[in-house]
Structures are given as C-alpha cells and as structure tokens.
Structure 1
Amino acid sequence: MTGYGRVSNSFDDKVINVEVRSLNSKYTDIRVKIPQNYKEKEHELRKIVSDKALRGKIEITIEVETGNGGDEYGLNEALFRRYHQELSRLTNELQIPTADMLQAILRLPNVVGAAADTIDDKEWAAVHKTVDGALAKFTEFRTVEGNALKEDLLLRVNNIASLLARLDPEEEERITKLRQRMRQSLEEHLGKDKVDDNRFEQEILFYLEKIDITEEKVRLEQHCKYFIEELEKQQPLKGRKLSFISQEMGREINTMGAKAYSSNIQKLVVEMKDELEKIKEQVANTV
C-alpha cells in the first residue's frame, strides 16, 4: 500500500532530511538515495527499512544540508581541472562550441561528491534516529489508509453475504418453475396420459441434484466469515491470505452462476462478482 513519511533533524551544523515513500507492489523493492559518504551504511539502512516497511515499492531519500543551507557536497578540484584541460584541448582542435562545458564537467563522475568520505558513529546515530522517525510517520500514514481500506473490505464482504441470503427464495422458485416447465414439455410431446409420474420424479431429482447450489452457498458463506476473521486479526502481511480467500470465493460464485438456470439468480451472481472484483482490487493494495 502507499505510504509517506518525512522527518528533519539537526546534527552539529547540518540538517538531516529523511523521506520515505512507497507504492503498491506484491514484493519488497527498496530504492535508496543517499549521500556518497553514507554508502557504507546502505546495507544496514535497507534492513532497517525492510524490517519496518515490510512490503511495497519503497523509496528512501536522505539529504544532508550544511549550516549555510547548501548540500553537503564538495568539488574535486584536481579532477575538474583535468577534465577542463582535456575538453578545452579537444574543443579547440575540433572547433566545438564551449558554451555548456561547465555544466557538462560537473555532471561527470566523481567531480562533485560528498565532502567527507566516511560517516562517524555520532552522525550515523543521528541519521538512524531520523530514519526511525520518518518510518514511524510512514507507518502512521499506512495505518490510517489501512483502516479505511478495512472498512471498505468489510462492506464488500457483507454485501456478498447479504446477496447470498437472497438466493434461498429464488432457488425455491427456480425449482418450482423447472418442475412445471419440464412437466408441461413432456405432456405436450407425449400426452398427459403417457407420462410416468414415478419416472418423472426420478428424473427431476437427478436433474435438480446436478444444478443444486447448496454446497456452493455453504462454502461461500464460510469463506466470507474466514475473510472477516483474517481481516480483523492484528497482524501485518495479511494481503496474500486475503487474496487466496477471495480467489476461493470467486470459484464458488462462478459455479453458482454456471448452475443458476434462473435470471434472478444470475443477477444476484453478477452483483456478487462486482463486489468481489472490488475486493480483489483493494486486497492487491494491502500489506
């Protein structure tokens, strides 16, 4: 699910800004944007983020500003001079305009880098604290979104349960209509006196057994209850299990639709499918 958190803290003459944001993803994909002198801590930083953010396409950005408001970066003057010397020679020889040479050199690797090569323990402790703060806000953002998502999912599942309860009277009427239609068809083709009532009842029972949806209704009701139970649990990473349950719900609904032989039941099945599709869309966004 989506999430966002940003925190700024001061350390000596610096301001450390940490921003964490995420987009929906089935897997954990962490992108890190940090100053060059923090690279040695990247592995540790990734673990901190993965432990607390759990899942999603997550991007963490750390920016360090100096006391004068500028970024904590320095210029490699020796390398800049070498690039400038060589590029000036080539531009003179090849008669190439030099209008954008400055910007071109600044974009070359290692010309602009962090002012320090490493980070000391005190500064890393300050960064760690700031990262924790940003992740706390990030989690709070997700919690608010998750609660809204939970309410919507509960609404959709309860809607399916309500539609399921409306099937019983429709199914009784369906059986009565099927019996009457089959009886009328036999009498029209064979004549009323030639219809064997016992054989007719046997065939009716066999046919009704094939289109009976009692088992599907029971299983769908259980799936709905199970879905709500899992949704109410106070634990992370429930999205995959909810996805599996919704797939099972879909199987039962599809089977009922295939056995319906009733326009009214088909309409209820279509409404169930509509609610289920909304559930699947929302579940894909859960952690």
Structure 2
Amino acid sequence: MLKSMTGYGSSNLENEEYTINTEIKTVNSKYLDCSLRLPKLFADKEIEVKNLAQKILERGKVYINLNYVSKGESISELAVNQQLVSSYYEAMMNSAKELNAPTNDIFRIAMMQDNVFIEKANEEAIESHWKAIYQTIEKGLLDCNEFRKEEGKALQNHIENCLNAIQKSLAEITKIEPRRVEKIRQKLEKNIESVVSSENFDRNRFEQEVIYYAEKLDIAEEKVRLKTHIDYFLKELKKESTSGKKLNFITQEMGREINTIGSKANDAEIQHFVVEMKEELEKIKEQTLNVL
C-alpha cells in the first residue's frame, strides 16, 4: 500500500506543571528535511527529535511546531556570574584611575555587560519535562504517519484510475491497428499507380514495400512492453511497502513506450489515444512524486 508524504498530526498534554502542544505538518521532499524550534532549555535535544522523525516518517519536509509553557515554579533561575562581574569591575576601575575618570557608576556598567547573568537550570525538572515533551512529539509524529497512510489510499485509487485509462487507450489502439496496415497498402498503391502504368505495375515489389513499411511502423513490441510495465506498476502498488522513487522510474519506462508508439504509428486515430495516454501518465508522475 502507498503512503503519502503529505500529512498532518497533533498531540497535546496538560497538567498542573506544564502545557505542551505539538503540531506536525509534512510535504514531499527527496530526503528528510526537519524544521524544528525548541525552547532554549531544550535546544540540545534537536538531534534527538530529528532522529525520531526519521524513524517514524522516513523522509519528507517535516515542520514541527512545539508550544511549551511551564505552569509551576520555574525550572530555571537567573544567577550572577560573580567572577565575570569582578573581572569587568576591576578592569574598569583600573582604567578609570589611570585616566582620572569618575568611578561612581562603574558597578552599574559592569552589571550591564554580556553574559553577566546566567541561567541555572533545575536538571531534574528539565529531564521530567523533556520526557513529556518527547512523548508528545512522538504521538504527533505517529498521528501524522496515520494521516499519511490514509492519504496514500487516496493516491493509490487515483493512480489506479489513471492506469485503467491508459489500458483502455491501449486496447483501443490494438483494435485500430489491423486497419492501419490496410491504409498503408492503399496509400502506397495509390501513389505507385499515379506514377506508373498499370502494365508496368510490379505486384511483388509492391507487396515487399508494404511489408517493409509495416515492419518499420510495427508497434507490437512497444504495446507488449507497455502492458508489462503497467502490470509491474500495479504489482508494486499492491505490495505492503513500495517506493515512490521506484514507481517514478517505472513511469519513465512507460513514457518511452508510449512515445515510441506515437512516433511509429503514423495514424491520426492512434495518435489521439497516444495523447490521452500521455496525459494520464503525467498525472501518475505528479502523484508518484508525493509517494513515500
């Protein structure tokens, strides 16, 4: 069964300590491309989340939107980097004395410097909250994966309808083809009779020419190969797991056979069905780009 790369999932968790809302959106992409913003306290967990997304969703452009609010006591608090403040203060005081500058505002200026205030975290609380966040993200990803499966069913139905349309056109071409040889015969006979007298008309030579053109314009092999590719495609669709890349490759092979039939047919009626097959094949190509 097919699985789409377009998906949506969400998961929420709320208690007296925190509120966590996770929203997952995915679209097609050749590889896994994960867009994620975590709260500063959990910034070091980004790789862990990306590995989880890789495991569940495999590939695609994945947008993970996380909203986390701590309700209880803060799991981190601000502290002063005393050593750094002392260094700033001493350096400024020494410079002020050397330059005979006022020193009454130096402490305030030292406290305004970069990295003076540091965030001290409650590691136990952070680990507990992260476990809940991780589980919420995991549930959101699993929900998104189920959505992808449902989308895959719709994709499969659409692709099968397109393949059926191609098969119908191929069947119509098979019906038309016998009349094509007779048309070639009549056309050749008319052209030859217009330039030679009936007494000099070489019936054997004429038959040879008909056979030559019939063989040159023969599309029997292309029809057989196209049907084989269609059967192979349908077989892949019914597998438990199949690759969008593989399906796309099969469509390329189908396209080659359809194009060859069109170039060799030399028949307006057949060309009409060739155009219809190309149109349906383009629809399939578009859909396979969204298959996982």
Work out whether the TM-score is over 0.5: yes
8 Å contact 1:257–1:265 — kept in the other structure?
yes
Distance 1:48 1:110, change over 3 A: farther
Bigger Rg over Cα: 2
Looking at structure 2, the residues matched to 64 and 32 of structure 1 have their Cα atoms a distance apart, in angstroms, of 13
8 Å contact 1:74–1:115 — kept in the other structure?
yes
Q: Secondary structure at the match of 2:195?
A: helix
Q: Secondary structure at the match of 2:34?
A: strand
8 Å contact 1:2–1:142 — kept in the other structure?
yes
Q: Secondary structure at the match of 1:166?
A: helix
Q: Secondary structure at the match of 2:130?
A: helix
Tell me the residue number matched to 2:277.
272
Equivalent position amino acid for 2:31 in 1:
Y
Tell me the residue number matched to 2:244.
239
Displacement of 1:59 after TM fit? 1.3
Displacement of 1:229 after TM fit? 0.8
8 Å contact 1:6–1:17 — kept in the other structure?
yes
RMSD: 2.7
Looking at structure 1, the residues matched to 197 and 118 of structure 2 have their Cα atoms a distance apart, in angstroms, of 97
The unaligned stretches of length 5 or more in structure 2 are 86-113
1:180 counterpart = 2:186: yes
Equivalent position amino acid for 2:130 in 1:
W
CA offsets 1:261-281 (integer angstroms, 9 cap, x no match): 110000000000010011111
1:55 counterpart (52, 59, 62): 59
Tell me the residue number matched to 1:87.
none
Tell me the residue number matched to 1:98.
none
TM-score, length-scaled by structure 2:
0.80
Displacement of 1:27 after TM fit? 2.0
Distance 1:39 1:190, change over 3 A: same
Displacement of 1:148 after TM fit? 0.5
1:218 counterpart (210, 224, 239): 224
Distance 1:200 1:112, change over 3 A: farther
Count how many residue pairs are aligned between Structure 1 and Structure 2: 256
1:127-166 matched pairs, under 5 angstroms: 127-166=133-172
Q: Which has the higher contact order (CA 8 A, sep 6+)?
A: 2
1:1-287 matched pairs, under 5 angstroms: 1-10=5-14, 13-67=17-71, 116=121, 120-235=126-241, 238-287=243-292
Displacement of 1:175 after TM fit? 0.8
Looking at structure 2, the residues matched to 183 and 169 of structure 1 have their Cα atoms a distance apart, in angstroms, of 24
Displacement of 1:117 after TM fit? 7.5
Equivalent position amino acid for 2:258 in 1:
I
Displacement of 1:223 after TM fit? 0.6
Report the identity percentage. Answer: 40
Looking at structure 2, the residues matched to 19 and 114 of structure 1 have their Cα atoms a distance apart, in angstroms, of 28
8 Å contact 1:74–1:112 — kept in the other structure?
no
8 Å contact 1:37–1:114 — kept in the other structure?
no
Segment drifting more, 33-42 vs 247-256: 33-42
Equivalent position amino acid for 2:56 in 1:
K
Displacement of 1:61 after TM fit? 2.2
Distance 1:75 1:61, change over 3 A: farther
Looking at structure 1, the residues matched to 169 and 127 of structure 2 have their Cα atoms a distance apart, in angstroms, of 61
8 Å contact 1:35–1:114 — kept in the other structure?
no
Looking at structure 1, the residues matched to 149 and 158 of structure 2 have their Cα atoms a distance apart, in angstroms, of 14
Equivalent position amino acid for 1:43 in 2:
I
Q: Secondary structure at the match of 1:39?
A: helix
Looking at structure 2, the residues matched to 189 and 113 of structure 1 have their Cα atoms a distance apart, in angstroms, of 101
Displacement of 1:76 after TM fit? 6.2
